[in-house]
């Protein structure tokens, strides 16, 4: 398969859902329109809406399966943190990442690469073609803003995972020089990400949106994360980026559109999706037969506590990770973020003890006990992350001000932990973020941008390179990036491989 070709764009366009309206269900059901081409598709406001809907459906690859038993692209970013065990011997991809013995043939790599660039291709089409459609100008700008957010979102993942990546900002046909692109320096990729998000921020999107679509709050949240990353490695763009990250996160806080849930149960309660603490989520619907595999993947293996035909035991925390929490941390109490037992599905009076601690964040009780159809959304951004981004960046930019302390202490109060005072260190805030956002595809990115990892036994932060996992493996410099998929290099000789791979 060529890296990017005409069919990537036109075939992707052919899968666009011709959907009307603005509710989140609009981009859950897809209708195949395989007779569309670039030349005859972008003609009406409905075409523009459908093109944007496709960008939302494409987000689901992150938390969907990858065609093999007990594997999902989501997991690629979790196992190299050294915080997880697995009970799935069939998953070579997961085992290799956990033991740091993976290579450029890992199936996850091609999923992240191809699916991200497919979404970028569709975003490029929308950004180029929607301006020429006759429609309400305000609606047009909002659609373009959503497309630019999606392009930035996908490039932000790609540049952090792979480093220098091809920068493609226009539709590509068979005669384009971009058919076989070279890698682009990360600084240039970040410049485009920032500009796309600034454009999206000014596009007239609502402050919040409980339908699952991009809001101004989501744009600002992503931009604050981008600035925070740019302040760290590998760019080290300057301390002013900590200030920019803090200020952008503060805009989200001051707008008042989001708040922490008063208890952790609401994090996996369907009635609270796309609202409250949730800023931007991946949409699922059992009614549309579009379901999320995370709940069964994270159940303890074959314990008979659910109606799922498979209880996988794909990933569960190491004891060292659980023990790294402060005494009294509510997050590690039973059925908060984690759990160690559950009633038998055959006899509710019988409590099944797992013999280990498992992740409860993605637990869907309805699916477990009755439907075997998990339609919990997957969360890309929640308000707790905004608070912790503000606290981390704000401490670097402004010191331990009352507002910086209040941001992190909101998270700690919910966890029933003592509040930090002006003696707080950057490492204290790092650790709070480490525990609050665990297993949400944040930890590996944080480790890389800081070049630091937490020693679970001592509670001290140490260098990424040379950090030893609790089960003995040691991080090397090559794991600061994932390898470019070997299949892409084989098909495009202009692509080079990352160091060490």
3-class SS at 186? helix
Q: What is the pLDDT of residue 4?
A: 40
pLDDT tens sequence across 87-114:
998 899 999 999 999 999 999 999 999 9
Residue 171 has pLDDT above 90, yes or no: yes
pLDDT tens sequence across 486-501:
999 999 999 999 999 9
Helices (H), 278-378: 294-298, 319-323, 365-366
Burial class (CB in 10 A: 0-12, 13-18, 19+), 157: buried
Checking phi first, is residue 168 left (phi over 0); if not, alpha (psi -120 to 50) or beta? Answer: beta
461 is a domain residue: no
**Quick check: 200 and 152 in contact, CB under 8 A?**
yes
The rounded radius of gyration (Å) of the Cα atoms in the chain is 22
Indicate the pLDDT class of residue 279, thresholds 50, 70 and 90: very high
**Token couple for 279:** 């800023």
> DSSP states of 56-83 as a string?
HHHGGGGTS--SSTT--HHHHTTGGGT-
Q: What is the pLDDT of residue 244?
A: 98
**Token couple for 493:** 């000789």
**Token couple for 163:** 């480093």
Residue (of 332, 370, 331) closest to 348 by Cα position: 370
Average pLDDT on 146-172 reads 97
195 is a domain residue: no
Percent of the chain with pLDDT over 90: 88
Indicate the pLDDT class of residue 287, thresholds 50, 70 and 90: confident
| Residue 85: strand pairing partners | 316
Residue 314 has pLDDT above 80, yes or no: yes
Q: What is the pLDDT of residue 216?
A: 98
95 is a domain residue: no
Q: What is the pLDDT of residue 38?
A: 62
Residue 5 has pLDDT above 70, yes or no: no
Strand 278-282 with 84-85, pairing: unpaired
Average pLDDT on 120-143 reads 97
Q: What is the pLDDT of residue 37?
A: 62
Quote the number of domains for the chain: 1
**For residues 406 and 408, what is the distance between their CA atoms, to the nearest angstrom?**
6
**Quick check: 348 and 369 in contact, CB under 8 A?**
no
Indicate the pLDDT class of residue 394, thresholds 50, 70 and 90: very high
354 is a domain residue: yes
Domain containing 308 equals: 293-374
Indicate the pLDDT class of residue 32, thresholds 50, 70 and 90: very low
Residue 360 has pLDDT above 90, yes or no: yes
230 is a domain residue: no
- Secondary element (H or E) of residue 433: helix 426-436
Q: What is the pLDDT of residue 26?
A: 60
3-class SS at 93? helix
pLDDT tens sequence across 208-252:
999 999 999 999 999 999 999 999 999 999 999 999 999 999 999
Q: What is the pLDDT of residue 226?
A: 99
Residue 467 has pLDDT above 80, yes or no: yes
**For residues 50 and 27, what is the distance between their CA atoms, to the nearest angstrom?**
8
pLDDT tens sequence across 65-80:
998 899 999 999 999 9
Evaluated on CA atoms 294, 414, 380, 230, the torsion sign reads: negative
Q: Could you write out the three-class secondary structure of 115-174?
A: HHHHHHHHHHHHHHHHHHCCCCHHHHHHHHHHHHHHHHHHHHHHHHHHCCECCCCCCCCC
**CB neighbourhood size of 124 (10 A):** 18
Indicate the pLDDT class of residue 365, thresholds 50, 70 and 90: very high
- Specify the length of the chain in residues: 501
Residue 191 has pLDDT above 90, yes or no: yes
Residue 471: is the preceding peptide bond cis (ω within 30°)?
A: no
| Residue 290: strand pairing partners | 285
Q: What is the pLDDT of residue 121?
A: 96
Residue 461 has pLDDT above 60, yes or no: yes
**Quick check: 230 and 160 in contact, CB under 8 A?**
no
Helix 216-231 crosses helix 240-255 at what angle (to 10 degrees)? 160
203 is a domain residue: no
Residue 363 has pLDDT above 60, yes or no: yes
**CB neighbourhood size of 364 (10 A):** 24
Residue 452 has pLDDT above 70, yes or no: yes
**CB neighbourhood size of 315 (10 A):** 26
Residue 24 has pLDDT above 70, yes or no: no
pLDDT tens sequence across 124-133:
999 999 999 9
Q: What is the pLDDT of residue 176?
A: 82
pLDDT tens sequence across 156-168:
999 999 999 999 9
Average pLDDT on 276-283 reads 97
Per DSSP, 227 falls in state H
Q: What is the pLDDT of residue 183?
A: 98
**Token couple for 433:** 């973020």
Q: What is the pLDDT of residue 14?
A: 36
**Quick check: 465 and 471 in contact, CB under 8 A?**
no
483 is a domain residue: no
Per DSSP, 418 falls in state P
**Token couple for 106:** 């890992």
Residue 459 has pLDDT above 70, yes or no: yes
Indicate the pLDDT class of residue 36, thresholds 50, 70 and 90: low
Checking phi first, is residue 500 left (phi over 0); if not, alpha (psi -120 to 50) or beta? Answer: left
Burial class (CB in 10 A: 0-12, 13-18, 19+), 334: exposed
| Residue 378: strand pairing partners | 282
**CB neighbourhood size of 347 (10 A):** 10
Question: Mean pLDDT over all residues of the chain?
Answer: 93
Helices (H), 175-215: 186-201
Average pLDDT on 440-450 reads 98
335 is a domain residue: yes
| Residue 339: strand pairing partners | 358
Q: What is the pLDDT of residue 412?
A: 98
């Amino acid at each position: 398969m060529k890296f990017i070709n005409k069919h990537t764009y036109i075939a992707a366009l052919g899968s666009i859902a011709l959907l009307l309206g603005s509710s989140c269900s609009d981009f859950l059901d897809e209708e195949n329109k395989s007779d569309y081409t670039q030349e005859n598709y972008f003609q009406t406001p409905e075409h523009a809406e459908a093109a944007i809907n496709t960008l939302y459906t494409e987000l689901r690859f992150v938390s969907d399966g990858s065609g093999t038993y007990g594997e999902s692209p989501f997991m690629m970013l979790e196992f190299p943190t050294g915080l997880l065990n697995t009970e799935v011997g069939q998953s070579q991809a997961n085992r290799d990442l956990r033991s740091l013995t993976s290579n450029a043939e890992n199936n996850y790599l091609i999923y992240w690469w191809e699916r991200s660039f497919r979404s970028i291709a569709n975003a490029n089409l929308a950004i180029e073609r929607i301006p020429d459609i006759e429609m309400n100008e305000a609606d047009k700008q909002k659609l373009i803003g959503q497309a630019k957010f999606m392009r930035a979102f996908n490039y932000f993942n790609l540049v952090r995972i792979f480093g220098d990546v091809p920068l493609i900002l226009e539709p590509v046909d068979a005669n384009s020089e971009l058919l076989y692109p070279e890698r682009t320096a990360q600084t240039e990729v970040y410049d485009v990400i920032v500009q796309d998000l600034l454009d999206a921020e000014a596009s007239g999107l609502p402050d919040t949106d409980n339908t699952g679509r991009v809001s101004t709050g989501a744009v600002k949240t992503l931009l604050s994360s981008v600035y925070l990353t740019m302040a760290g490695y590998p760019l080290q763009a300057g301390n002013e980026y900590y200030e920019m990250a803090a200020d952008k996160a503060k805009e989200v806080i001051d707008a008042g559109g989001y708040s922490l849930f008063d208890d952790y149960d609401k994090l996996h309660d369907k009635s609270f999706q796309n609202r409250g603490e949730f800023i931007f989520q991946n949409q699922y619907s059992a009614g549309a037969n579009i379901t999320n595999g995370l709940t069964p993947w994270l159940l303890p293996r074959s314990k008979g506590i659910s109606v799922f035909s498979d209880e996988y035991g794909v990933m569960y925390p190491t004891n060292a990770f659980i023990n790294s929490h402060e005494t009294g941390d509510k997050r590690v109490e039973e059925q908060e973020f984690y759990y160690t037992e559950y009633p038998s599905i055959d006899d509710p009076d019988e409590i099944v003890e797992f013999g280990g601690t498992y992740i409860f964040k993605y637990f869907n009780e309805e699916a477990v006990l009755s439907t075997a159809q998990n339609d919990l959304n997957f969360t890309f951004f929640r308000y707790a992350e905004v608070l912790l981004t503000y606290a981390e960046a704000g401490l670097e930019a402004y010191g331990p001000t009352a507002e910086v302390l209040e941001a992190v202490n909101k998270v700690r109060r919910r966890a029933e932990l003592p509040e930090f005072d002006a003696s707080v260190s950057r490492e204290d805030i790092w650790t709070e973020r480490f525990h609050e956002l665990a297993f949400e595809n944040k930890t590996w990115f944080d480790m890389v941008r800081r070049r630091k990892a937490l020693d679970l036994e001592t509670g001290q932060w140490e260098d990424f390179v040379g950090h030893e996992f609790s089960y003995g493996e040691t991080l090397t410099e090559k794991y600061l990036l994932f390898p470019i998929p070997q299949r892409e290099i084989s098909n495009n000789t202009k692509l080079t491989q990352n160091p060490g791979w």
